[in-house]
Structure formats: C-alpha cells, structure tokens
Amino acid sequence: MPAAVASALCYAVAAALQQREAARAAGGGLRLLAGLARRPLWLAGIGATAAGATLHVLALRLGPLALVQPIGAAGLLFALPLGALLHRRPVRRGELAAAGLVAAGVVGLLASVQVARGTPTLSEPSTALLATVIAVAAVGSTTLARRLRGPWRALISPAAAGPRSVSHRRWCGW
C-alpha cells in the first residue's frame, strides 16, 4: 500500500506547512485568507493536500478501504516530527507516547482486519442511521468545541485547524 503511505505523508506535510503559516499570519476572516494566499508555504500545503487526496483515491482504487483508511492515520506519525522541525523544537515525551499509541493502534487494526471479497452494500435503514449518527456527531462536536477552551477545543473540533484557530498557539503552547 505505498500509495496510502505516500498519501498520509502528503497530508502530514500539508498540515505542518499550513499550521506553521497560520501561526505566523495576522488578522482574521478575509484578511487572514488573503494574507495566507500570498505565502508560498501555505500554497505548498494546498498542493500537498491535493497530492494527498489524489494518492488516497489511487490507494482506494488499488486496495480495500479497510486497509487504506488505517494507513491514513499514520499521517499523524509523519506530522509530529515535521511540525517539531518547522517550529525548531524537540518532540516532547507526551507526543512520543501519543505517537506510540497511534502506531500501536494502526498496527493492531491492520493486523485484525479481514478483507472480504465482493462489493459491500448498506441497506437504506442502515444508511439513514449512519447519516443521522454522523450529523449528530458533527453538530455535537461543533457545539462542544465552541464552549471549550484550550487544547480540549482543538481536540474536539477538526475545524480547529482552520482559519478560526489562528490563535492555536494559545491552545497548543506553540
């Protein structure tokens, strides 16, 4: 699954570059986006995201979802040293411990996955239930993230990596 690993690496590079540039940017809203659009490393991050998405689609074409998706989580393992390098700081012990847990989880998941032949299908009631669960989780995590502060907010909301979280230095101590 080299395409899945390459995809994870591209996503990690994108996250590290864009986080670095967002930390250095000033302003908010459209002013922030206009400023980021003029930063070469931010644009390189967008290119890395596009490459990661392309490689992810290729990986899904070559292998089953049950194997490709867990490998994507390995992007966290790539992002950790890249982020530390870009911020010129060592990787912290707690980060190493978390990376070890992620690695163990990915290896454990990959070792336990049994890939079935054929095309999986989802019934209409199951599809409706899944859509409902996803919608409730999205609304719930967004609502919760708006009420939290500090690293908990960044942990709960995937949107914390977006333009509204430019003050992430305050949350993550960077």
Structure tokens that stand for 16 in this block:
């590290």
Query: Comparing 5 with 122, which gets the higher pLDDT?
Result: 5
Structure tokens that stand for 161 in this block:
């990596």
What does pTM read for this prediction?
A: 0.64
One domain, residues 141 and 67: no
Taking all residues of the chain, what is their mean pLDDT, rounded to a whole number? 80
168: pLDDT strictly greater than 50: no
Distance of CA 118 to the CA centre of its chain: 29
One domain, residues 146 and 110: no
The total number of structural domains that make up the chain = 2
> Domain boundary residue among 115, 131, 146?
115
Domain that holds residue 111: 1-115
62: pLDDT strictly greater than 60: yes
One domain, residues 101 and 142: no
Give the span between the Cα atoms of 102 and 77, in whole angstroms.
8
One domain, residues 27 and 84: yes
- The residue-averaged pLDDT of 55-79 equals 88
One domain, residues 48 and 127: no
Residue type, 81: P
pLDDT band at residue 108 using 50, 70 and 90 as cut-offs: confident
One domain, residues 126 and 103: no
| Calculated CA dihedral for residues 103, 104, 108, 110, nearest 10 degrees | 10
pLDDT tens-digit readout, 18-40:
888 888 887 777 888 888 888 99
Q: What percent of the chain has pLDDT over 70?
A: 82
pLDDT tens-digit readout, 11-20:
999 999 988 8
One domain, residues 63 and 136: no
One domain, residues 68 and 139: no
